[in-house]
Structure formats: C-alpha cells, structure tokens
Amino acid sequence: MGCRISEVILLGTGVTIPSKDRNASGVLVVLNDGTLLLFDCGNGILRQIAKADVDFSKIDNVFITHLHLDHTSDLGILVKANWLQGRQTLNVYGPKGTKQMCDLFFSKTYPYLEGVITLSVTDIKPGPVLKNDHWSISCFPLTHGISSLAYKVETEENKIVVCGDTFSPVREPNRGLSTFAKNADLLIHEVSFPDDYPYDKKDHTKPTPLGKEAEEAGVKTLIVTHMYPACEGKEEQIVESIKKHYTGEVIIGEDLMTILLPNKNK
C-alpha cells in the first residue's frame, strides 16, 4: 500500500476577529501511516484538535505560514501541553523570523518553558522543507503584509497545497503559485472578503481572482477558508464568483470539517 494523504481536517477557518462559528487558523493533514502534519496553530487550535478527537502529542511537525497571531498564538500552548504530557521533542518550521519569535517567547517572556522539551525551530526559504522515503513538503512565497508561505504536501499517491494569507491574482504579484499548485488534489486558500466588499489592500484574497488562479493551476478541489465576518451570509455568492472561472469543486470550509481524499489504488 502506497503512502497517501488520507484526510484533511479544517481545525480553524476564521480570522483574528472572534466568531462563534469559526476558530482562528489551523489545518491538520493526516497520512495513512498515521503521520500528523499541523499547518498553523492559531488561538484555540489545541481545543479544536481535542474536538477532532486527535491526540496532539502525536504531532511531530508544525508548519507556520506566517507570523500573525491568528496563525501562531497556540504554539506556546502546544509546547507546554507536550511538556505536561511528557513529550520530549517538537519540530517547527516557518518563514524568516519564526526562530526569533520562539526564542523570545520561550527565553524572555516565558522562561520557565525554555528547554522543557527539545524544540527544533527552523526558518525556511522557498523550496524543499522536509522529505523522507514516502512524502515530502515544499514551500512557495506568497504576497502578504509580512512573509507568508504556501506549503505543498506530496505523497506517492496525491498532493495538496495549504496557503497562508495572501493577495492572490492569477499573474501578479504571486507569479508561480499556479505552477506550484499544478494539478493538486486539493488547494486550501483564503477568501477573506466577497468581491463587492470595499477592501483594496493587496494582502488578502477575493473570490473572482482566486477562481482564475485555481483554474489555471488545474486543482481538482478548492477549499475556501480564512473568512472574515463580511463573508457571513454570502457563501453562495462567493462560490458563484469563484465558479465564473473555475470548473472544479468548490467547498466553503467550516471548522472541524474533514475532507477525505480518495484511495486512487482501489
């Protein structure tokens, strides 16, 4: 049996602004060999992991897309929880500044947590991140207010792409994202605001440009996440805007939604 991504759990599909329905950002990728890969660890993510009936202490690797609080706030909680459970090690990967953030957090702000577990933190550059005989992870730079990354998980059978926050038209300034995500089984991407919302800063995505990008990439399924309150009640409109240009499946992400990926060898 080949290694494959068996399911993806949307732990948090919201933003910094509190919502009764949407937690801050987090995505859990589950491989059929039991490997758990956590992408982002925003506020409340550990509780979401518990709600998903997943053992947080089985997560070896955390991948941060960018250093905004709604994507990183529970990282310290994850370290402490592992310590309290007797866990010894944890690996964290993220854009430039991730190591400094962790050093300041654990040595200056909460020094009692420094060294309680072996925490390996790596600032990564675009390109390969982690690889073994069965799966690999690479990353691609995105345009946002600060350094932001998209991660691609590839196995022997399938591949998915998880994007951090980004302004994402088809061509500029994220030239190359559609190539990075080419023919992915699943693309997880933000839509922070509907097309008609008066937001024109170049750090978040609206649905119509995303539809063009997803079609160019040829991804099979597009999962919409990171939705601000302005999207509430406009989910159908957002899907319609995306479908103007995108012919694949569109799913509006919801907290604790599990996406099962088909076994292509069956």
Q: Which residues pair with 229 in a beta bridge?
A: none
Q: What is the pLDDT of residue 7?
A: 98
What residues contact 196, with CB distance under 8 A and at least 6 apart? Answer: none
Helices (H) and strands (E) in the chain, counts: 7, 14
3-state secondary structure 201-220: CCCCCCHHHHHHHHHHHCCC
What residues contact 110, with CB distance under 8 A and at least 6 apart? Answer: 76
Q: What is the pLDDT of residue 173?
A: 46
Q: Output the DSSP codes for 15-79.
A: -SS--SS--SSEEEEEETTS-EEEE---TTHHHHHHHTT--GGG--EEE-S---HHHHTTHHHHH
Q: What is the pLDDT of residue 169?
A: 53
In order along the chain (266 residues), what is the average pLDDT of each group of 10 residues?
A: 93 97 98 97 98 97 98 98 96 98 95 95 97 96 92 97 82 69 97 92 91 94 97 97 97 98 82
Give phi and psi for 87, each to the nearest 5.
Answer: -70, 145
Q: What is the pLDDT of residue 104?
A: 96
Q: pTM for the complete prediction?
A: 0.96
Q: How far apart are CA 123 and CA 234, in angstroms?
A: 37
Q: What is the pLDDT of residue 171?
A: 43
Q: What is the pLDDT of residue 168?
A: 62
Q: What is the pLDDT of residue 2?
A: 86
Does residue 21 carry a catalytic annotation?
no
What structural domains does the chain harbor?
5-260 (3.60.15.10)
Q: What is the pLDDT of residue 250?
A: 98
Catalytic one of 21, 33, 70, 165: 70
Q: Are strands 148-155 and 159-163 parallel, antiparallel or unpaired?
A: antiparallel
